[in-house]
Amino acid sequence: MQLNEVDSANNLVQLFLHRADVLGDKPFLGTKRDGEWQTIRWREAAERVCLLAENLRAMGLATGDRVLLVSENRPEWCIADLGIMAAGCITVPAYTTNTQRDHVHILSDSGARAVIVSNEKLSQPLIPAIMRTGLAEHIVPIDTVRSYQSGQLTCHGWSTLTTGDAKAARAAVEGRIAHIQREDTACLIYTSGTGGAPRGVIQHHGAILCNVSGAARILMEDFGLNEDERFLSFLPLSHAYEHTGGQFLPIGVGAQIFYAEGLDKLASNIEETRPTIMVVVPRLFEVLRTRIMRQVEKQGGAPQRLMEMAIALGERRADGRYRLGDKTLNLLLERLLRPKIRAKFGGRIKAMVSGGAPLNPDVGVFFQAMGLTMLQGYGQTEAGPVIACNRPRAGIAMDTVGPPMDGVEIRIADDGEILCRGELVMQGYWQNAAETNRALQDGWLHTGDIGHLDERGRIKITDRKKDMIVNDKGDNVAPQKVEGMLTLQREIGQAMVHGDRHPYVVGLIVPDPEWAAEWAKAHDRKFEMAALQEDPEFRQAIRAAVDRVNKDLSVIEKVRQFTFADEPFSIENEQMTPSMKIRRHKIREVYGPRLEGLYRS
């Protein structure tokens, strides 16, 4: 793999077709069907991309037209995305969790003329939205769905659009993409909306290519790349992080992409596919950490003692403290503990990259202690999305997100806001000049994140500017830091803290269901969460967990009071984004009065 091929590419389709020509009959896209992993080869994928592109043009779509893509992660997602771009059109990915209202907003805002949808289930909230907006003219179901033939909407079969004269289609695509430049729009990625209606971020080909080049350089220089690199795609491809890091990065380095079956089967999929790189959000790492710790704790004895020693060693390394005998201990752990942990991740993991939200340093230290290289990245949809990433060569510090990637300039504003400049920065928000002008000033992207550069040029994030809690005395509290520490306690599954313009911080707690079940059994209680939350002893156990966290917090950060949530934060109740970040404004809509009541109790 040559990095100059990424740097010199004019557009994403050109890069993909070049990779496909070189790799030919090697496996590219893997998925599990009928209990077996099956792959589509690079050459076959390229043929389908070109055929789809030409058939989209035959439907009447023109250069610059938007095409909505609604699908779970699967090989057809990648083929559809590249096919849309190869047709000279613009991909508009949408989350599979979108409601009819969400689809109405995106269809209306983007003006999409066509829609590609995976299956019948995903079409159910989508079709009414199409009818309400009256904009899309064509629908392409990947799997069999009910026929939608009307004066407005024409249905086209996926198999029909991906068959035909592949040689002629390739020639037509080559002629078209010769005119697509790096500054041309590749896709509109709608932000997942932690605070308000999603906005369409205009990502151009160069923004994603800049990201791919920077990330590929880290992988190649720090870990080495070979012909058998494999990514396991799990996060929604409609999210910029997975779209770039989980799709175009592996294309850029010539790696295979395997698609996980879902969260419930992720652990087994990891062992089966044996990935070398994983791109994951912090919440999943927190869940995996909890599972590993519980499994080892249940074994007790030597395994538990080894894990405790590994964590202690990891913490000393992170702090730059070493004891006599640590080298011997490290060798012992490398023989007796870490191979078993690595086996749970397929045994070939080179690096796990965390992004999309801040990673609690303790989680990163845990995985490093277990012998798994953890890199924390930083960015946002408006920047391709990756701005910076930890790398061994720069010295991995879990309380930083590493140095800026190649081609990225960083400046810290007077108020501490991180500003970013480079080819990776978006061209603006679709049809939203006011928001564009607020975010982009004199060529600098105002990220809305607060932080600083350490002595080695690594970025350290303290919090979101707009999420920052400012108490009644004017002191700033970073809520994500406090929430991250709370959710590391085995008693607490989820948490949100509150306290803007108030004298102290209070919390909203979702107890961890596994721990709650164990507590109920040990205390001879019926496992019913609502009833447990009324139990004074149960509440005292949660209080003890909060107090443990408070010991490590400053006076202004301490959680003085808390209340319980009625149910977990989830995508379904709109209290989490599809990328597993909490939606504070939605949670406050439900629990605001209860949280305010804590100041009167």
pLDDT tens-digit series, residues 111-141: 999 999 999 999 999 999 999 999 999 999 9
- pLDDT, position 336: 92
Query: Tokens for 121?
Result: 């289930």
C-alpha pair distances (Å), 60 with each of 65, 161, 185: 10, 13, 20
Work out the mean pLDDT of the chain and round it to a whole number: 92
* 277-347+349-464 and 469-597 have identical folds: no
- pLDDT, position 149: 55
Query: Does residue 598 sit in helix, strand or coil?
Result: coil
Q: Describe the strand order of the beta sheet including 200-204 as a list of residue ranges.
A: 154-155, 138-141, 114-117, 66-70, 90-94, 185-190, 200-204
- pLDDT, position 148: 60
Contacts of 80 (CB under 8 A, 6+ apart): 52, 69, 71, 91, 116, 142
pLDDT tens-digit series, residues 242-277: 999 999 999 999 999 999 998 889 989 999 999 999
- pLDDT, position 281: 83
- pLDDT, position 578: 83
Mean pLDDT of 387-394: 90
Class of domain 469-597: alpha beta
Mean pLDDT of 368-374: 92
Class of domain 277-347+349-464: alpha beta
Reduced to 3 DSSP states, what percent helix, strand and coil does the chain have, rounded to the nearest 5? 45, 20, 35
Q: Which CATH architecture has domain 8-209?
A: 3-Layer(aba) Sandwich (3.40)
Res. 481 pLDDT band, cuts 50 70 90: confident
Query: Tokens for 516?
Result: 């709650």
Query: Tokens for 353?
Result: 């990259």
Res. 59 pLDDT band, cuts 50 70 90: very high
Sign (positive or negative) of CA dihedral 553, 557, 558, 564: negative
Higher pLDDT, 246 or 283: 246
pTM of the model: 0.84
Residue pair 322/344 in contact (Cβ under 8 Å)? The answer is: no
- pLDDT, position 195: 52
- pLDDT, position 415: 86
Res. 509 pLDDT band, cuts 50 70 90: very high
In the 8-state DSSP scheme, what is residue 345?
T
Closest CA to 253 of 298, 223, 296: 223
Do the bridges between strand 114-117 and strand 27-33 make them parallel or antiparallel, or are there none, so unpaired? unpaired
Q: To 5 degrees, how large is the angle CA 410–CA 286–CA 372?
A: 75
Domain limits of the chain? 8-209, 277-347+349-464, 469-597
Report the DSSP beta bridge partners of residue 322: none
Mean pLDDT of 382-405: 91
pLDDT tens-digit series, residues 158-180: 999 999 999 999 999 999 999 99
Task: Report CA dihedral (276, 45, 162, 242) to the nearest 10 degrees.
Answer: 30
pLDDT tens-digit series, residues 215-231: 999 999 999 988 899 99
Percent of the chain with pLDDT over 90: 76
Query: Tokens for 184?
Result: 């041309």
Mean pLDDT of 364-376: 91
Query: From CA 51, how far away is CA 271, in angstroms rounded?
Result: 35
Res. 386 pLDDT band, cuts 50 70 90: very high
pLDDT tens-digit series, residues 294-309: 888 889 899 999 999 9
Query: From CA 496, how far away is CA 328, in angstroms rounded?
Result: 42
- pLDDT, position 169: 98
- pLDDT, position 1: 57
